[in-house]
Amino acid sequence: MSPHFGFSCGWDIVHACDYRCPYCFFIPSWTTHAEETNGRHLSCSKEDWLGFWDRCFDQLGAFRIELAGGEPFQHPDIFPLVREISRRHAIHIVTNLSIDARKISAEFDPARVSLSVSFHPSHARVEELLPKLRGLKRAGFELTTSIVAFPAHFGGLARWIAAIKGEGARCYLNPFQGRFAGRDYPRSYTQEESSFLRANTFSESIDIRMRRERPRGRLCAAGWRYFRIWPDGTIHRCCATTELGLKPLGHIRDRVVPVLPDASPCPADRCFAPNELAMLIDA
C-alpha cells in the first residue's frame, strides 16, 4: 500500500492537570493511582525527548505533533521543549489555557505552533477565556476551540459557542463519553441534543464518535503513520490500544523509531479522538 498520510502523533507529555473536570475519562488511573499518574513524565528527561524528535525527523521526516496531556503546560520543560522541537516539526497544543496566554505569544512562533483550546465551564468562565483568545489571534496563532457536550452543561452551550465564535475562533463540541444520571453517553443524548451536537462537531466519522458504529476490523493507519506517546516515553498505536492493555510499539529511547510496516485492522470497539479517527482508511 502506498502511503497517503504524512506522519503525525498524539503526544501526552504529562498526565497531570490543574483541572479535574467531572466528565474527564481520558486517564482513568487518576482515580486509582493518582501519584504514579501525575509523575509519569519524570522518567524521561528533556534530552530524551529532544533526541527522540531528532531521530523521528532523520528517519521519517517532519511530523505534525498534537501535544496534549493532562494539561501540557503542567510539564516543567514545556517551553524549551516546544521552542526546540517546533523548529523541525509542526506542533498543535491542546490546552485548557489556564495559563497567562501572553507567555505563549512571547515564547512560541505562530508559524510553527497552533492551538486547540478546550473550554471547561466547570473550572473557567467564558468571559475570562475570550480576551486570551483575542490576544493569541492578534499574535497570529491559528486556533480552534472545543467544549465537551456534558449533559449538565447543555443549557449553556449555544451561548458559549456564540461568544467564542464572536472572537473569530471556530468552536467544536465533543460528545461526552461516560455515565451521567444513570445513563450511558453519547448513546443517551435526546434527539434534539444529538442534532445540536452533530451540527456543531467534526463531521468525520461522527457515527463512531457517537458510538452508533464500531471501528473494529476496519483498516487503520494508526501505528504506521501515527502513534500516541505517553509521558513515560512508551509509544502506543493509539488511545484504544492503551485502554485494551495491548503491548506498546516501543519506547522513545529505541534506536529505531518503532512504527508498523503498514496499515492494519482496528482492534477496538470505540475510537473517540478526532486526530486518531482521521487514521481510519475507508474500505
Question: Which residues form the interface with ligand SF4 (CB under 6 A)?
Answer: 215, 220, 222, 238, 240, 266, 268, 271, 276-277, 279-280
How far are the Cα atoms of 117, 124, 133, 134, 138 from residue 168, in angstroms, in the given order? Answer: 13, 20, 9, 8, 11
User: Of the two residues 72 and 215, which places its CB atom closer to ligand SF4 in the complex?
Assistant: 215
User: Of the two residues 143 and 266, which places its CB atom closer to ligand SF4 in the complex?
Assistant: 266
User: Of the two residues 89 and 236, which places its CB atom closer to ligand SF4 in the complex?
Assistant: 236
**Contact 56/257 with Cβ under 8 angstroms?**
yes
CB 221, min distance to ligand SF4, A:
8
Compute and round to an integer the Cα radius of gyration of the chain.
18
CB 44, min distance to ligand SF4, A:
23
CB 208, min distance to ligand SF4, A:
8
CB 242, min distance to ligand SF4, A:
10
CB 86, min distance to ligand SF4, A:
25
Does residue 105 sit in helix, strand or coil?
helix
Nearest-angstrom CA–CA distance, 202 and 280: 15
User: Of the two residues 155 and 245, which places its CB atom closer to ligand SF4 in the complex?
Assistant: 245
Nearest-angstrom CA–CA distance, 160 and 279: 30
**Contact 69/17 with Cβ under 8 angstroms?**
yes
Helices marked H in 100-254 — which ranges? Answer: 101-107, 126-138, 154-165, 191-199, 206-209, 239-243
CB 220, min distance to ligand SF4, A:
3
Helices marked H in 166-243 — which ranges? Answer: 191-199, 206-209, 239-243
User: Of the two residues 112 and 270, which places its CB atom closer to ligand SF4 in the complex?
Assistant: 270
User: Of the two residues 56 and 208, which places its CB atom closer to ligand SF4 in the complex?
Assistant: 208
CB 87, min distance to ligand SF4, A:
28
User: Of the two residues 44 and 271, which places its CB atom closer to ligand SF4 in the complex?
Assistant: 271
Nearest-angstrom CA–CA distance, 222 and 262: 9
**CA-based nearest residue to 215, from 140, 137, 272:** 272
Does residue 188 sit in helix, strand or coil?
coil
